[in-house]
Structure 1
Amino acid sequence: MLLELMDAGSLGRLLRHRDGRGGLPEPALAEVAARCLAGLAHLHYSYGVAHLDLKPDNLLANGRGHVRISDFSVSRIFSRNPGERLRVSVGIGSTAYMSPERFAPNARAGPRGACAADVWSLGVTVLELFSGRCPILPAAHGTSWELLKEAICYGEPPSAPESASASPSLRGFVAACLKKDPKRRATVAQLLAHPFVADRDVESSRCALREIIMETMHEQGQRGTPPTS
């Protein structure tokens, strides 16, 4: 088996290394979103797979600016049994990135619902990469299961702070991902056509992402070598 070398480690690791400098600039973030959506489209529409644990720590990058979705340990296959309702409850995956409907006891979902759960996780991930921290709860509040459930199920959907210099396009993209009702949530196909992704300057976005990755690798002294964690 041959696998692509993702020598920059995860985007979660990159974000932690940038602590104090904020998240990714929008051009780089648009490229990350586009690459995630391309991966999710391949999973959802070509293979009938819901990832169910999308987050910055499960997005790997390399010095060429490529981003790949990793860690399929809790993924579910739905294409072989179209009528089957998959278990998508809080018992699997990372709680802070789970959609509201997954907190129901023994939650199950059909193919559309399972894919909608991935879209919610993408929205939270994009917000975290933009702001530099998980947007569900302020760090001072802790991350207990009870607090996360209360914030996700009963609080307002997370969004970029009003004080943040987020473009209307980014805000609209995140809002489309973070509809509490999974039936109203945008699909991956719809998000691929969203202006935040579809109208980006592809070359500029790729260069912006590649520069940040290479800068981080250089600072970590790991250029050309695989990460240790």
Structure 2
Amino acid sequence: MPISEDCAQSTNLKVEDVQLSMDDLEMIQVIGKGSGGVVQLVRHKWVGTLYALKGIQMNIQESVRKQIVQELKINQATQSPHIVLCHQSFYHNGVIYLVLEYMDRGSLADIIKQVKTILEPYLAVLCKQVLEGLLYLHHERHVIHRDIKPSNLLVNRKGEVKITDFGVSAVLASSMGQRDTFVGTYNYMAPERISGSSYDYKSDIWSLGLVILECAIGRFPYIPSEGEGWLSFYELLEAIVDQPPPSAPADQFSPEFCSFISSCIQKDPAERMSASELLNHPFIKKFEGMDLDLRTLVESLEPPMNIPE
């Protein structure tokens, strides 16, 4: 049941206090599309707060739908400053909707489109935030994200970096019996996932390593032997599984950064560092205590969209 404007203003209700419906939300514009669904920027009609509303088409049995909605409600209890907050979830006309925290500076993908490359100090600050988010997912929630990529690392004007889509990649997939299937974006998949082997939390570390290397060198790390263009789907899968992993050029980056990347993208998962180990890596420690803030980088960029009044 939608809440009235008078009720919202007189009681200072928060969105978490009352179950939302589509009637409570004003659609502003589409801000993202993907295989998982469409994301729209919405405004609460009575409170005025902006949210990201993700709709996921779910043509499934009612019993499974109820299970998914229940598990998504449990995920609303997430307590990490490095995970995008899911305020609520609800079902409407065959679609599950997630009412998500709106990150007003878009994704890491939006940032690298503008700056092309990100300097090591900023990468260290960014990495630390993402690793703290992964540490929470892996050790507190026992969740493998399975789709770490630039567009799933969101940024706000405060310079905060947060992981999104973990509820979709883990809870929805496992609820539909897809835990060992090809869930995620293949570009950033770890070799063990592509080859069909069992995998664990370390698969997220591989993905993060590729993302950070991409931010540093300004292009996706896997390229054709001639050095230009893109690998085909099958060429890329073959390269990830059969070829040595990419590395940071030693003549362009610090030894600490090169070591960090190598620690993330080892072919053997047992040789990869965990999120907790990487948080103590010399590359992360090197910039701790310095007056570094991603807000400085973010404020210099154009926001991903203009929001109508």
TM range (shorter): 0.7 to 0.9
User: What is the aligned partner in structure 2 of residue 15 from structure 1?
Assistant: 112
Q: Does the 8 Å CA contact 2:249/2:258 hold for their aligned counterparts?
A: no
Q: 2:194 aligns with which of 103, 109, 125?
A: 103
> Residue 7 of structure 1 aligns to which amino acid in structure 2?
D
Per-residue CA shift, 1:202-222, capped at 9, x if unaligned?
44332xx2111111136x675
Q: Distance in 2 between matches of 1:217 and 1:141?
A: 27
> Displacement, 1:117?
0.3
Larger strand share, 1 or 2: 2
Q: 1:58 aligns with which of 145, 152, 169?
A: 152
Q: Which fold has the larger relative contact order, with Cα–Cα distance below 8 Å and residues 6 or more apart in sequence? A: 1
> Residue 148 of structure 1 aligns to which amino acid in structure 2?
L
Q: Does the 8 Å CA contact 1:137/1:151 hold for their aligned counterparts?
A: no
Q: Distance in 1 between matches of 2:249 and 2:108?
A: 22
> Displacement, 1:76?
5.8
Is 1:71 matched up with 2:137?
Answer: no
Task: Tell me the SS of whatever aligns to 1:205.
Answer: coil
Q: 1:52 to 1:191 in 2, by over 3 A?
A: same
User: What is the aligned partner in structure 2 of residue 83 from structure 1?
Assistant: none
Structure 1 stretches of at least 4 aligned residues deviating more than 4 Å after TM superposition: none
> Residue 206 of structure 2 aligns to which amino acid in structure 1?
W
Per-residue CA shift, 1:76-102, capped at 9, x if unaligned?
69xxxxxxxx51x5x221111011111
Please show how residues 132-147 of structure 1 align to structure 2 within 5 Å.
Answer: 132-137=218-223, 140-147=228-235
User: What is the aligned partner in structure 2 of residue 124 from structure 1?
Assistant: 210
Task: Tell me the SS of whatever aligns to 1:60.
Answer: strand
> Displacement, 1:141?
3.9
Q: Does the 8 Å CA contact 1:51/1:76 hold for their aligned counterparts?
A: no
Q: 1:94 to 1:221 in 2, by over 3 A?
A: closer
Q: Does the 8 Å CA contact 2:191/2:267 hold for their aligned counterparts?
A: yes
User: What is the aligned partner in structure 1 of residue 125 from structure 2?
Assistant: 31
> Residue 199 of structure 1 aligns to which amino acid in structure 2?
K
User: What is the aligned partner in structure 2 of residue 217 from structure 1?
Assistant: 302
Q: Which runs of 5 or more structure 1 residues have no equivalent in the other structure? A: 78-85
Please show how residues 172-183 of structure 1 align to structure 2 within 5 Å.
Answer: 172-183=259-270
Q: Number of aligned residue pairs: give it.
A: 203
- If you compute each CA radius of gyration, which structure gives the higher value, 1 or 2? 2
Per-residue CA shift, 1:162-216, capped at 9, x if unaligned?
442x11111110000011001111111110110111231344332xx21111111
Q: Distance in 1 between matches of 2:171 and 2:241?
A: 23
User: What is the aligned partner in structure 2 of residue 80 from structure 1?
Assistant: none
Q: Which runs of 5 or more structure 2 residues have no equivalent in the other structure? A: 1-15, 17-86, 88-99, 173-178
Which TM-score applies when normalising by structure 2?
A: 0.61
Q: Percent identity?
A: 36
